[in-house]
Amino acid sequence: MRAFLFPGQGSQAVGMGAALAEASRTAHDVFHEVDEALGQNLFRLMREGPEEELKLTENAQPAIMAHSLAVFRALTKDGGVDLTKAANFVAGHSLGEYSALCAAGSFDLATTAKLLKLRGQAMQQAVPVGVGAMAALLGADLALARRIAEAAAQGEVCTVANDNDPTQVVISGHKGAIDRAIELAKEMGAKRAIPLPVSAPFHCALMQPAAEAMRDALGYVVVKAPAVPLYANVTAQPETDPDTIRNQLVEQVTAMVRWRESIANMSAAGVDEFVELGGKVLGGMVKRIAPDSKVTSVVTIEDVEALAKEIA
């Protein structure tokens, strides 16, 4: 059994998609369609930078999705791969959940781009710059990360944002609390605590205004049942019901990304091959969660052609 995975924020890099668009008209058309939907030359920003602008949440989110979908469409349209025959499940890390749903037919590409642009803007605006922060706790599992966050909170928000794998958990909240957590982490048993270069504290209660903005936006959007079940970030369980998916996308803004559990549950369900489309971040996490599984990252046209040959 196989699952297709879609990366989240942090996978952006200047130059992303440029070679793929030159090699594949299908991929080129994806970038063009996203530009049209947003009324923005996002693909030029992806190709040429500047990096600071690409890293802005409102640009990074649709850019990462566009890159993943360009890879996915090159694989399916050019490579002749049928999603329903090639994959049993899809899943995405945070914003990658939108990419996964677009690939599975729940949203069209233009709608996905607009939703992610709005999501990025709403997350950025939810908390003034400098008020929130995030940190990665390395060598810490979920239980330890929760203890560290609890000890550091002192009346402020400090919670687990991403349970990524057995050795890496990300916390999010008020900057003061995150700073305290970084100080406490080592003495409480974590190997290291690293502040993350993010512009807002994602996946915590401070994101509630962004969750409300997404509730409004998703209320106007048609959500179709995905062609294959989506393993949802908020439940780590497979889902196909459109209304449930809509509600989970709202909840996801403030809730913990249960990535470790999602991969473990897919593995327990029989998935032994994971394919990451448009990035190389999730593969390492998967290997730490399900070490016996086969992991493939598909980024270049050569990657696309090799995978298409293998599974078409």
> Could you list the active site residues?
94, 203
155: which 2 tokens?
A: 């009346």
One-letter amino acid identity for 25? R
The span from the first CA to the last CA of the chain, in angstroms, equals 15
